[in-house]
Amino acid sequence: MNMREENKKPTPQKKNVTKQRWFWPVIYASFAVLLVAGVWGYSALTNSSKPLTGSKLTATNGAKSPTVETNAQTESLRYPFKEALLKDAKVVQDYYDVEANEESRAGALLVFNQTFTTSDGISIAVNGESFDVLAALSGKVEEVKSDPFIGNEITISHPNGMTTVYSSVSDIAVKKGDKVDQGQAIGKTTDNQYNPAAGNHLYFEVMQEGKHINPTSLLAF
């Protein structure tokens, strides 16, 4: 053997890393880490864009009815009677609006013993017949007044700071402190001695933070 052959060293062969036992487990572990990071990042992004829960008053498109947004559901103010009666329901006495014309203001005056008082709500009648009175929004019964002269009265508070009042009611089905659902029957309409001209009717008031609102600006009759 000559010297040249003795001085030659064998060339090391490159190892194929894909055939190493540790290669694929590392690849799978890295992919899993990236997948978890991606899911976490997407969840954080979507959660940050959600609005805070709680009560909120908003206006719906095409209607001026406010909505009550709660953790469980979103409600819009509804008629205090079954909507199947809407075609026959009439506002027989209007809300007194100081900015309305003279004729409208005159029609919103209540007269008893030659004494005039303004109407803070609307009187609703359905062909002079008694009908079920429904809660216009979910809420809590704050007061139930029994007065056959001016008509029994139910006051309900709602999560958005609104209060609804239902007067000239008989067969009352709720009491103070009760929680009521929207559309729940709370009584039936009747007539009263204070406003006999309205006949059998419901006197319906809406207040926001203690200030009266014209119900017809929230519900289309």
* Domain range enclosing 207: 83-217
Residue 104's CATH number:
2.70.70.10
Domain-embedded: residue 203: yes
pLDDT in tens, 44-76: 444 443 333 333 323 333 345 555 554 446 788
Beta carbons of 102 and 94 less than 8 angstroms apart = no
Contacts of 96 (CB under 8 A, 6+ apart): 105, 108, 109, 118, 119, 120
Residues 87, 192: Cα–Cα separation, whole Å = 24
Beta carbons of 154 and 185 less than 8 angstroms apart = no
- Which DSSP letter does residue 22 get? T
Domain-embedded: residue 209: yes
Domain-embedded: residue 28: no
What is the value of pTM for the model shown? Answer: 0.66
- Percent of the chain topping pLDDT 70: 66
Domain-embedded: residue 165: yes
* Domain count of the fold of the chain: 1
pLDDT in tens, 128-163: 999 999 999 999 999 999 988 888 999 999 999 999
Domain-embedded: residue 154: yes
Domain-embedded: residue 62: no
CA angle 152, 200, 184 (to 5 degrees): 60
- Selection from 172, 185, 179, 184 nearest residue 156 by Cα: 179
Domain-embedded: residue 145: yes
Domain-embedded: residue 177: yes
- Selection from 214, 158, 179, 188 nearest residue 85 by Cα: 188
